[in-house]
Structure 1
Amino acid sequence: MNVIGNGFDLYHGLPSSYYYFGCYLIKNDPEFYEKIGRMYELNHLKMVGPSIAHHYDYVVENIFWSDFERHLSKVDEYFVVDTSVDDLDLEYPDPVEIELEHDKNADQLKKKFAKWVRDTLDFESNYSLIKERLLNSSDLDLSNEDYFLQFNYTHSLQKLYGIEDDKIYYVHGECLGDDGGELIVGHGNDSRIQEIKAVIEKLDEKYDFTQSSYNRINEYRCLLSYIHKLRKDVEGCKMGCSYFYDVIEGEVENINLYGLSLGEVDIPYLVQIRHRWPNAKWTFSYYSDSSMERINDVAKNSLNLDEGEYGMFKFAHTLSRDVCSEIVSIRGIDEYPGV
């Protein structure tokens, strides 16, 4: 069985790094990009020119967008909390129901993410270019005799290697239809959710039936709702994976990982596979030597694999960047400075 991560699409030259999602937001909805920048305290604007006659250009903060999903739980709580109804100088003696704009931003972010995948990545012309420029010099051999656990949203397996749909399971959703399909994007930081719940419990204990006290509780509830909406339901996704594993006939002898970052949110899926097929040999791809330490850590400490039960292979192509640059040009993608 093969496990496919974002590095697989990057290997083939698709501009699927989250840096390009940041660029997409700047071009298509700069107001929302600035809002995200404020919510997460990002460097999203850079002053250009002398102080007395300057202007601002958009930039993309590398630390945030390089690990976009993991950072989604780290919204600046004071940005949300400080937009209190108290600031509106309301004088009602009783608590009032308020609806903070930030509670809606999670849905908007997910919709824009799905639209980015649809508008930028999953194009027939992209796959045609990859076939023409890159596949002939790639030694990657994939076939319909295998099964594929797909963490990406694109159809690169089908379009580039002719893999049949029933051999693929999309863990986080598949890019389909005009709305990009129901894609799952988010973090796995349950500890952050518990921290906010603890704050709400303390505020509830001190509730004095005043408007300001009620508003303070409601603000943190909105913050909790925002972060919860952007949480990946790992257990629900694992259940879907389990159904997929049920259709696999026979014993799986090899587990091959292509371009999976091995983030904390990935580990539960790998543990599930390990328990399902405890005798399988694992092979991890790496892009740079710096990734090898992480692979060893996950293999030994998370999956309890002995040295003889796993291996590694270099997964990079010399033409990936050239193909990516061509796709960026063809798709009319604007690139912005990283900081």
Structure 2
Amino acid sequence: MAKHLYFIGNGFDLHHEINSSYGHFRDWMSENNPDVMNSVEEIYGDCDNDWWSDFENQLASLDAIRFGEEIAWENPPDLMSEHCDRTWNDAEIEVEQQLESLYSDLRACFHDWIEQLDMPLVEKMVRIEMQDSIFINFNYTKTLENLYGVIAVR
């Protein structure tokens, strides 16, 4: 029976001086992938520090109707045309393509960012009880595995 249960989150990596916050991701992406950053701003609007601190939830909270209206506004259909339905369909396809492209680019950027993160500082290690412990790790890095030798449940 386990005596200790550890939930490991991003604070663990930050303690080990790994720049792994979403704010760090934003800064890295601004420098290394400004086109993707511009797409985020175009699609989601003004993405301030609060937006980035809740990045995962913000991605899911896109007002797709507002975004679709903006696309349709840029390419208004001719309501008198017999091809009006096709124009609306074209706007819907444009929304889907822009979102798929953005999410694909974000996944690639996120992967590249994680790959370049610094290694954890050994001098920042904390005492962890290994015997009779269970670890649940929510981090993207392998600090717990590589520095402490723990095999964690993800």
TM-score between both structures, scaled by the size of structure 2: 0.76
Note the aligned Cα RMSD (angstroms): 2.5
C-alpha separation between the residues in 1 aligned to 2:131 and 2:72? Answer: 56
Pick which of 97-106 and 62-71 moved more.
Answer: 97-106
Provide the rounded CA distance (Å) in 1 between the counterparts of 2:55 and 2:74.
32
Residue 33 (structure 1) shift: 0.2
Change in Cα spacing, 1:7 to 1:144, as seen in structure 2 (3 Å) is same
Match of 1:68 among 27, 41, 55: 55
Could you say what secondary structure the match of 2:71 adopts? coil
Gaps in structure 1 of 5+ consecutive residues: 44-60, 171-339
* Whole-Å separation in 2 of the counterparts to 1:81 and 1:27: 31
Aligned residues: 140
Query: The residue matched to 1:112 in structure 2 has which SS?
Result: helix
Greater percentage in helix: 2
Could you tell me the percent identity over the aligned residues?
26
**CA positional deviation for 1:83:** 0.7
1:134 is matched with: 124
Unpaired runs of at least 5, structure 2: none
Please name the residue that 2:110 is paired with. 113
1:29 aligns with 2:33: yes
Change (3 A) 1:108 1:92: farther
Bigger relative contact order, structure 1 or 2 (CA pairs below 8 A, ≥6 apart): 2
Alignment check: 8 A CA contact 2:26 2:52 kept: yes
Contact 1:39 1:76 in 2 (8 A): no
Cα gap change, 1:107 to 1:144, in 2 (>3 Å)? farther
Alignment partner of 1:87 is 2:83: no
Cα shift at 1:41? 1.7
Preserved contact between residue 117 and residue 153 of structure 1 (Cα < 8 Å): yes
Matched, 1:151 2:147: no
Contact 2:33 2:109 in 1 (8 A): no
CA distance in 2: counterparts of 1:108 and 1:26, whole angstroms: 13
CA deviation profile, 1:196-241 (whole Å, cap 9, x unmatched): xxxxxxxxxxxxxxxxxxxxxxxxxxxxxxxxxxxxxxxxxxxxxx
After superposition, give the CA deviation of every residue in 1:248-294 in whole Å (9 maximum; x if it has no partner).
Answer: xxxxxxxxxxxxxxxxxxxxxxxxxxxxxxxxxxxxxxxxxxxxxxx
State the alpha-carbon separation in 2 of the partners of residues 103 and 40 from structure 1. 10
Q: Secondary structure at the match of 1:149?
A: strand
Q: What is the CA–CA distance in structure 2 between the aligned matches of 1:27 and 1:92, rounded to whole Å? A: 47
1:15 is matched with 19
| Whole-angstrom distance in 2 between the partners of 1:155 and 1:107 | 24
Shift of 1:145: 3.8
What is the identity, as a one-letter code, of the residue corresponding to 2:142? H
Q: How far apart are the structure 1 equivalents of 2:52 and 2:9?
A: 17
Matches within 5 A, 1:190-339: none
SS in structure 2 at match of 1:82: helix
- Measured in 1, the distance between the counterparts of 2:50 and 2:84 equals 44
Equivalent of residue 5 in structure 1, options 1, 6, 9? 9
